[in-house]
Structures are given as structure tokens and as C-alpha cells.
Amino acid sequence: MSSASRGIQIGPPRFKIAVHSVVWLANSGGILSSAMIADQVQSHATFMRRVLQSLAVAGIVESRGGREGGYLLRKKADELTLGEIYCAVSAEPAESVDDVDCGEAGVQLDAELEKILFEAERLTVEHLRQYTVADIMGRVEFFCPNS
């Protein structure tokens, strides 16, 4: 089984959707509504708006209101890295999980695990910063029926 068919999930679940969204915005070269983006990336519009809000807070996209409103990129595709997108959607608070009291050993285990996970995330972001949205777009053949 290839790694692509397994759907490997590294980082927050919003990361893939955020990258897809940014790529579609870059490919469009203009403003797209959250509903249009959600349709392109096969996601629910409400979820899409949350992802786009995270990208807007990070300064990656701009939101424009009104009848002709929607979202557009604030950076060029060749200047925007996957690391920036990752950090934007990683800033979302994690879903809370009830802590289980495992005593002192559990506290120590949690502390060590946090160190390892922090380092893994740091290395992931460092690696993702080597790729721009334009790099990804260059690897994908786009078919836009509305073009």
C-alpha cells in the first residue's frame, strides 16, 4: 500500500484543507467565496470558514465582505510556505481530552512525551518551510470547468 493511499495525517486535521484552500485561491488569482472553496476541497462550508478564519488571522488570506466578497491571498504563491500555513492552523486550540490520573510516573511520561512531540513539530515546520504554495501548484494539473 502506498503512503498516498493511506492518507497519512501529520499535524492538525485542518492542515490539508488549509493547503488545498490556499492552492485553489492561488490558482483562481482572485476572490472566492467560502462555499466555492468548500466545494473545490470537498469540505463543509462552516468548517471551511473556520479554517479560512485561521488563515486570515495569520495574514495569509484576506476576507472581503459584501455581495461580491470572499477570500483572496495576501501573499504570492511563491512567497507563501507550507510551514506558514501549518503554523496558522496549528494555532487553533486542541480539542480537550480528559486527563487520566496516572500518578507521578504519568506526569513524567507526559512531560517527556511533550518534549518529543514539540521537537517533532519543530522539525515538521522547518521541513514545510522549504516548500512554497507555488511548488505544490507546479506538481498538480488543474482542471477548472468554469475557466
Residues 6 or more apart in contact with residue 97 via CB below 8 angstroms: none
- Domain 11-137 maps to which CATH number in 1.10.10.10, 3.30.200.20, 3.40.1010.20, 1.10.3720.10? 1.10.10.10
Predicted model pTM:
0.77
Per-residue pLDDT tens, the chain, 147 aa: give them: 444 444 566 667 789 899 999 999 999 989 999 899 999 888 888 899 999 999 999 999 999 988 888 999 999 999 999 999 999 998 755 444 444 555 677 788 888 888 898 899 899 999 999 999 999 999 887 655 554
How far apart (Å, rounded) are the C-alpha atoms in residues 58 and 84? 8
Task: Tell me which DSSP letter residue 77 carries.
Answer: T
- Region of 77 (left: φ > 0; alpha: ψ -120 to 50; beta: rest) is alpha
